Amino acid sequence: MTRLDMFLKHTGLIKQRSQAKRACDDGRVVLIGPSGEKTAKASQAVHVGERVRIETTTRRIEIEVLDLPERAPARSERQRFYRILSEEQIDPFADLSF
């Protein structure tokens, strides 16, 4: 079993486990399954084939889990654990008007 926050950290999608936990707690990580979308919890198990959407202040990314790392892989190996389905850059200042 691999926790969602550890998966996000080990794959480099989010830099630190504490940041991954905070993103989950803030509702910025969503699991997409056959039954619909569900706000993720940091401690919840990740399974191969699941889709995950992550929102940060600068981007929105949706991935599919391809494999689960047993421990932190080398940087060059990280991308084999997920496939990017969509990625969108977000301008954090777009809603500001002067």
Q: Enter the tokens of residue 15.
A: 């830099």
Split at pLDDT 50, 70, 90, the class of 57 is: confident
Number of domains in the chain: 1
Q: Say which CATH number the domain at 12 has.
A: 3.10.290.10
User: What are the tens digits of pLDDT across the range 1-12?
Assistant: 899 999 999 999
User: What are the tens digits of pLDDT across the range 17-27?
Assistant: 999 999 999 99
CB of 52 closer than 8 Å to CB of 29: yes
Please indicate, yes or no, if residue 40 is contained in any of the structural domains.
yes
Please indicate, yes or no, if residue 94 is contained in any of the structural domains.
no
Please indicate, yes or no, if residue 34 is contained in any of the structural domains.
yes
- At residue 95, the pLDDT reads 74
Please indicate, yes or no, if residue 98 is contained in any of the structural domains.
no
Quote the DSSP letter at residue 90. -
Domain span including residue 38: 2-89
Kindly give the residue spans of alpha helices, DSSP state H, lying in the chain. 4-10, 17-25
| pLDDT top residue among 97 and 53 | 53
Q: Could you identify the residue written with the tokens 């190996």?
A: 77
Please indicate, yes or no, if residue 96 is contained in any of the structural domains.
no
pLDDT at 64 over 70: yes
Length of the chain: 98
